Structures are given as C-alpha cells and as structure tokens.
C-alpha cells in the first residue's frame, strides 16, 4: 500500500488515458504521465487504476531528457474509502435526461393515438353514408377507393410511428436500468478497491520523463450495427457502419484515441485439444416428469429508429434557414487489415463513460450498388415481396455479423441480421411487401374423370395466375407455386403441363423467373392430376 507520506525514492505520476483499443470482450488501455526525476527515484507509481485490470498484461515504457532503466513492474491492490458525490451527481443527471426524453416520446405516442382514434371514428361515421351513395350511384367507385386508401395509409402511418416511438421507449428503459444499477453499486457503503501500478526504475540523473503504461481491462466490448438506406431511384444502398461500445471498467474514457479491433486476444494462440468422446448405455432407466412447461412469450425486437428531422422547429424558421443549411459530414475511421484482423481507428476524441450503457459511434458510411427483384408465393400470400441484392465492395472491409436497420426511401422497413460478409461478396436484403406488382390466382379447372381406369380415380386441377406490373420500370419476379407431394405410394401426382413450360422441382416446387415490362402483364398457368384408388380417402388436398 502506498504511504501518503511518499518517500523520496518513490514518486506519484499523475497520468491520463490517451488511447484505447476495444476488442469484442475487453480493451487495451494506454496511459501517459509526465514527471520530473531528481535521480534518486526507484519507483514510479500510477495510482487508482480499476480492479478490472489484468495484472499479467501490464507493460511500461517511456521517453525523456534523462536516461531511465526500467527494471520491472508490480501491481498492488489498495483498499480505500473515496467520496462518490461527483459520480452520483453525474449518473443522476444522465437519468434525468433520459427520463425527460421518455416523457417526450410518451407525448408523441399519446398524440398519435388521438390521431388514430380520429381516423377510426371517421371511418365508422362514413361507412353508412358511403354505402348509400354507392347504392344510389351518387358516388363513383374510384372516389370511394381513393378515400379508403387515404384512411388506410393514414392509419398505417400513425401505427408505424407509434411503434417506432414505443421501441425507442424500450431502448431508453434499458439504458435507465443500467444507469440505476450503476448508481446502486457506487452508493453501496463498501470500501473502494483499486490497483496501483509500480514501475521499478533506475534514473541516470535529473530531467523530465514521460512514463507510458498499457494494460488490459475486462467489462468492455463492442458490437457492429448497421443502417442500410436503399434509394430506389438510383439503385444504391447507403451503408452506415456503426459501433455499439459498452464499458464498465471503472474508469471513464475521455477524449482518447479510440480504436476498434476484430482480434480476439482472449482466445489464445494454441488450438484446443480434443478430449475422448464417450458414449455409454444407461444402467438404470431415467424417469422424467410428464408435465410440460408453458413456453415463455417471445419478446418483440427493439429497433432503434431515426428521430424525424425538423422536430421542434416551426415551419417559418425551417423555410428561412433552408438556403443557409450545410449538410453534416459523417466522420470516417481509418481502416487497416492484417490478415483476417480488421482495425478501425476513429478520428476525433472518443468519450465513453464507465456506465455499462451502450454508446453508438459512427465508423464510416459508403454507397453500395444494388439491384432489385421480386419474389412471390401466391398460394400463401397474394402479394409480391421486394428484395435487394447488394454487393460489398471488393476493396472494402469485412462486414461483421450484427443487427441492421433497413430504410427504404427514408421510410423505416424493419430490422435484419447481417452475416459475415467478405469484400466482394453479395448479400440480400428483404424489403417487405411491395404493391408495385399485382397478383391474381384462380382455380380454373377441377374435373373428376368419370371413367375409372383399373379402379383408379383421377382428378385434374388447373390454375391461372395473372401478374400485372404497375410500375414504370421493368420488374424481375421469381414466382413460386407448388404441387401436393404424396406420402402414400397409392397416391400419384403428375404435372400435365405449364405455361411458360418449366421442370417440376423437388418437393413439388414450380418456379418461374419472369421479366415483366413496365405497365405490362404476364400470365402463368399449370395443370396437374391426382390419381388414387376409388376406396382411398385423400387428406390434405386443400384446393
């Protein structure tokens, strides 16, 4: 333990964190401190380091105007009682700020609820007058459809906006809980434990010396996040690479050079050894309870969403300031690769407090080319789903697995999980239902053959699908239908023909790749036969 009355051969070094490299489960911290040496010092001490420090990872070095020989380094655990007033006040300020944001979001939810109720009331009040006007032919069908579309779109917009606000409230609740946990921990009347780093030195004379110490700390990590904004007009995807950094190491990182690394220093360098894989037969029967537990309900995904621009600004102020607006620039990290390890050196000072809450930092953003296509399974749903095929730049960086928020023409679509995507690799984004394609599916034939052949009943079915492209551009569609698959050898299913002609795939799958011109339409049809003995009842043939 360091004596308050420091002897002449020991000197306390006032240091600060200058750089931090964050890994997936820990961080490398670098500190520097300047001290004047008289030549009699034998120990340089950096006090009040966190207990999350891994003592075996400590390394020291330095430079100065005097020669210094580094003889070794020790770490001592110190137990003291330190005031926590300033830390408590800081956490309380953060809690109050988040609670204010939560109240504002609740006000938005209440306002959207009132708007939705108004639309619902308008729908109820206009149902009977519209029906009467239609029956008397005082109102055209197109006007009615326009009004119904207006009601539907407005109600949908309010529902989506309300859902986004509630998702943000859930995210704030998570941050508030973490802050309250941290507050409870530091308010507990336990002695404060810290680590003192003691560098053993031999000074060659008088002069200034800058001591540099580095060490690993636990309870720090980062995970990648992505914002993917698709622009239909120019067929590009703007990818914003974000890093969610969390640390509860016991020391704040203020205005430090922050680097993110994909290396895994905790995994070691020696491959694991295989142990024998034993199998055996049980000597006694194992009785298990027959009572089943009810499955727990799954939690809804929490999706961070962008705050609407211009919130809290009047229309007049916005119009006046449009001419003088300067588009904000997004900071980009310096990316370097060594083998499979990627590091992102962030430009600008990093400020990550030790509060255990996630802090999001932008790493970089870039535009990626993409092309769109549609997929449809009309037997299940009568809509087409839009997909985007995106290609990672061959000279770009590896995209690590992480959650991605998807925006389509500035409208939030949903979230997805990106897998590990290497440079030059393609990946697919699902963009949900797109009403640009209209699909109609009809059963046009269901005929039972009255002539029995060898006591076999034969039933023929035929379907026709009409796909209409309502867009002003060519659309590529993958259309999938299916035939029933027999599990009984007495039941035979045969494809008689299709237009356009295709081969029957595995498990009864029929798949067409169609190119539909702008404002054009495409017709698809197919026919199949189910044959079985007369006395056999076929189940599952839901046509």
Separation CA 364–CA 243 (nearest Å): 10
Q: Is the peptide bond before 500 cis (omega within 30 degrees of 0)?
A: yes
Of residues 268 and 145, the one with the higher pLDDT is: 145
Residue 271 confidence class, pLDDT cut points 50, 70, 90: low
What is the pLDDT averaged over residues 228-236?
84
Helix, strand, coil percentages (3-state) for the chain, rounded to 5, are 20, 45, 35
Least confident span in 135-139, 153-157, 406-410, 517-521: 135-139
pLDDT of 85 > 80? The answer is: no
Residue 45 confidence class, pLDDT cut points 50, 70, 90: very high
Q: What pLDDT does 31 receive? A: 96
Residue 444 confidence class, pLDDT cut points 50, 70, 90: very high
Q: What pLDDT does 296 receive? A: 35
Least confident span in 244-253, 257-266, 361-370, 376-385: 257-266
The fold of the 437-533 domain, in CATH, is Immunoglobulin-like (2.60.40)
- Percentage of the chain lying above the pLDDT 90 cut: 35
Q: Which of 368, 402, 398 is nearest to 242 (CA)?
A: 402
Least confident span in 123-137, 203-217, 313-327, 354-368: 313-327
What is the pLDDT averaged over residues 367-383?
89
Separation CA 53–CA 31 (nearest Å): 13
Helix spans in 353-410 (H): none
| All residues at 6 or more sequence positions from 413 whose CB lies less than 8 Å from its CB, including other chains | 406, 407, 431, 432
Separation CA 182–CA 94 (nearest Å): 12
* CATH assignment of 85-187, among 3.30.70, 1.10.10, 1.10.287, 3.40.50: 1.10.287
- Percentage of the chain lying above the pLDDT 70 cut: 77
Q: What pLDDT does 49 receive? A: 93
Q: What pLDDT does 248 receive? A: 93
Of residues 44 and 295, the one with the higher pLDDT is: 44
Q: What pLDDT does 499 receive? A: 94
What is the pLDDT averaged over residues 412-438?
87
Separation CA 48–CA 66 (nearest Å): 27
Residue with tokens 């992480």: 402
- pLDDT per residue as tens digits for the range 294-353: 333 332 332 333 333 333 334 444 444 455 555 445 556 777 777 667 788 887 667 899
pLDDT of 250 > 80? The answer is: yes
Residue 433 confidence class, pLDDT cut points 50, 70, 90: confident
**CB neighbours (10 Å) of residue 543?**
9
- Beta pairing, strands 456-469 & 437-448: antiparallel
The beta-strand segments (E) located in 218-303 are 220-231, 236-247, 253-261
Q: Which of 180, 186, 215, 171 is nearest to 21 (CA)?
A: 215
Q: Which of left, alpha, beta for 286 (phi over 0: left; psi -120 to 50: alpha)?
A: beta
**DSSP string spanning 102-113?**
HHHHHHHHHHHH
Least confident span in 194-198, 340-344, 416-420, 533-537: 340-344
What is the pLDDT averaged over residues 185-196?
72
Q: What pLDDT does 275 receive? A: 62
Of residues 252 and 113, the one with the higher pLDDT is: 252
- Burial classification of residue 245, based on how many CB atoms lie within 10 Å of its CB (0-12 exposed, 13-18 middle, 19 or more buried): buried
Residue 413 confidence class, pLDDT cut points 50, 70, 90: confident
And the tokens for 105?
């979001």
pLDDT of 191 > 90? The answer is: no
Axis crossing angle, helix 141-187 with helix 85-135, rounded to the nearest 10: 170
pLDDT of 46 > 90? The answer is: yes
pLDDT mean across residues, the chain: 80
The beta-strand segments (E) located in 165-235 are 192-203, 207-217, 220-231
| All residues at 6 or more sequence positions from 485 whose CB lies less than 8 Å from its CB, including other chains | 493, 507, 508
- Burial classification of residue 100, based on how many CB atoms lie within 10 Å of its CB (0-12 exposed, 13-18 middle, 19 or more buried): exposed
Judge contact between 245 and 361, C-beta under 8 A: yes
Of residues 428 and 303, the one with the higher pLDDT is: 428
Distances (CA, A) of 324 to 313, 318, 321, 330: 15, 10, 6, 19
**DSSP string spanning 511-536?**
EEEEEE-TT-EEEEEEEEEEEEETTP
Domains of the chain by residue range: 10-81+191-218, 85-187, 224-264+331-434, 437-533
What is the pLDDT averaged over residues 60-65?
93
Q: What pLDDT does 65 receive? A: 93
Helix (H, G, I), strand (E, B) or coil at 492: strand
Separation CA 502–CA 499 (nearest Å): 8
Q: What pLDDT does 1 receive? A: 42
């Amino acid at each position: 333990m360091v004596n308050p009355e420091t002897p002449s051969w020991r000197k306390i070094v006032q240091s600060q964190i200058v750089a931090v490299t964050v890994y997936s489960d820990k961080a490398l911290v670098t500190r520097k401190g300047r001290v004047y040496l008289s030549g009699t010092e034998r120990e340089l001490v950096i006090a009040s380091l966190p207990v999350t420090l891994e003592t075996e990872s400590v390394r020291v070095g330095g430079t100065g105007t005097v020669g210094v020989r580094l003889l070794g380094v020790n770490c001592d655990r110190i137990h003291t009682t330190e005031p926590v007033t300033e830390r408590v006040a800081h956490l309380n300020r953060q809690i109050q700020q988040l609670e204010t944001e939560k109240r504002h979001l609740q006000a938005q939810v209440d306002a959207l609820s009132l708007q939705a109720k108004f639309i619902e009331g308008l729908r109820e009040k206009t149902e009977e007058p519209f029906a009467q006007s239609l029956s008397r032919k005082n109102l055209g069908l197109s006007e009615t459809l326009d009004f119904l579309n207006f009601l539907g779109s407005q109600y949908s917009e309010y529902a989506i906006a309300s859902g986004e606000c509630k998702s943000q409230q859930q995210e704030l609740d998570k941050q508030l809980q973490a802050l309250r946990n941290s507050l409870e921990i530091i308010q507990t009347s336990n002695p404060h434990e810290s680590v003192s780093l003691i560098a053993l030195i031999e000074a060659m004379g008088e002069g200034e010396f800058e001591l540099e110490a580095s060490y690993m700390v636990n309870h720090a990590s980062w995970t990648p996040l992505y914002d993917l904004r698709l622009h239909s007009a120019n067929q590009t995807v703007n990818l914003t690479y974000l890093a969610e950094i969390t640390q509860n190491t016991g020391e704040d990182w203020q205005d430090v050079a922050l680097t993110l690394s994909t290396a895994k220093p905790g995994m070691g360098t020696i491959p694991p050894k295989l142990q024998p894989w034993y199998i055996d037969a049980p000597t006694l029967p194992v009785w298990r309870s027959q009572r089943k537990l009810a499955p727990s309900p799954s939690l809804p995904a929490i999706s961070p969403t962008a705050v609407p621009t211009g919130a809290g600004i009047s229309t007049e102020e916005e119009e006046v300031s449009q001419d003088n607006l300067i588009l904000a620039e997004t900071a980009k990290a310096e990316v370097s690769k060594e083998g499979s390890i990627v590091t992102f050196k962030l430009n600008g000072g990093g400020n990550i407090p030790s509060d255990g809450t996630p802090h999001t930092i932008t790493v970089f953003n870039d535009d990626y080319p993409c092309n769109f296509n549609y997929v449809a399974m009309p037997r299940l749903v009568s809509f087409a789903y839009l997909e985007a095929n995106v290609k990672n730049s061959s000279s770009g960086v590896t995209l690590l697995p992480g959650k991605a928020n998807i925006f389509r023409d500035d409208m939030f679509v949903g979230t997805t999980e990106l897998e590990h995507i290497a440079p030059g690799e393609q990946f697919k984004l699902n963009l949900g239902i797109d009403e640009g394609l209209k699909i109609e599916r009809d059963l046009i034939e269901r005929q039972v053959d009255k002539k029995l052949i060898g006591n076999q009943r034969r039933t023929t079915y035929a379907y026709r699908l009409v796909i209409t492209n309502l867009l002003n551009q060519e659309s590529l569609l993958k259309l999938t239908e299916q035939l029933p698959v027999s599990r009984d050898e007495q039941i035979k299913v045969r494809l008689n023909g299709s237009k356009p002609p295709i081969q029957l795939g595995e498990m009864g799958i029929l798949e067409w790749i169609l190119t539909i011109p702008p404002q054009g339409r495409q017709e698809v049809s197919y026919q199949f036969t189910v044959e079985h003995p007369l006395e056999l009842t076929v189940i599952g043939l839901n046509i």
